[in-house]
Copies of this chain bind each other. A is one copy, B any other.
């Protein structure tokens, strides 16, 4: 029996600007997350600024739960990650977003409830908050310019959650209505070009002809053409030949 799985809760700890809460809600929903918790927001709750900026992601705010402190916000959680901009003196494992969300995926699949803490905009999480977490997440940014705002940090964790749990194929197939040219069609195209170019005296000097023809054959397959592109190339060649014949006649 598969246990019930509950996606991670993202916990905004003492956020300052309502706008950033709204932007965080959008960033969460971009990657299919909607379990927001808010701890002691500076400007009260609900936040009109958050609602204004969330626009299409308003339902994340509607469903958000408010807590007076971190302990309350993670009371029902089996495993908690705390995001920090830099390592702390606390003895906690520090994970990349990738490793943390892979770990979270495994825990969630096993029926655990997990949460990710995000600190206030300026100072980040306090050590007292971090002692409530089981592990730390640090985004490996450029050490000379490590500034990430709240919504950006939420965005990157949401991206990693989705990447770990709903991996897209590297090559996203899209060309549903496209038909690729098959081997015979590519061969016929090669024949057509070879014939016309022979007529035009393209293959010269004789000792290089074999290599030139081989190079062209190789190009046609390497291009990985669609059936439509093969037809276009046939058409181009026919039209040029037709015009040339016209010019020959007009001479």
The interface of chain A, by Cβ under 8 A from chain B, is 26-27, 29-32, 56-57, 87, 91, 93-96, 98-99, 102, 138-142, 145-148, 152, 155-156, 159, 162-163, 166, 168-175, 178, 226, 228-229
Contact = CB atoms under 8 A, between A and B. Distances in A.
A95 B152 CA distance: 22
Given A56-B145, A91-B229, A170 B98 contact: yes
A56 B91 contact: no
Say how many copies of this protein the assembly contains.
2
B96 A168 contact: yes
A51 to B, nearest CB: 16
Contacts of A142: 29-32, 162
Per CB-CB distance, the 6 closest pairs between chain A and chain B, nearest first, are A99-B170, A87-B174, A140-B168, A32-B142, A94-B172, A29-B145
A96 B171 CA distance: 7
Contacts of A166: 140
Contacts of A26: 145, 147
10 contacts: A32-B145, A56-B145, A87-B172, A91-B175, A91-B178, A91-B226, A95-B170, A96-B172, A139-B159, A152-B155
Contact of A30 (B96, B146, B168, B169): B146
Scoring A147, A171, A172 by chain B CB atoms within 10 A of each residue's CB, the highest score goes to A172
A138 B29 contact: no
Nearest to A148: B30
Contacts of A141: 30-31, 162
A148 B171 CA distance: 20
A125 to B, nearest CB: 15
Contact of A98 (B95, B139, B140, B163): B163
A33 to B, nearest CB: 9
A147 B178 CA distance: 27
A188 B48 CA distance: 58
A166 to B, nearest CB: 7
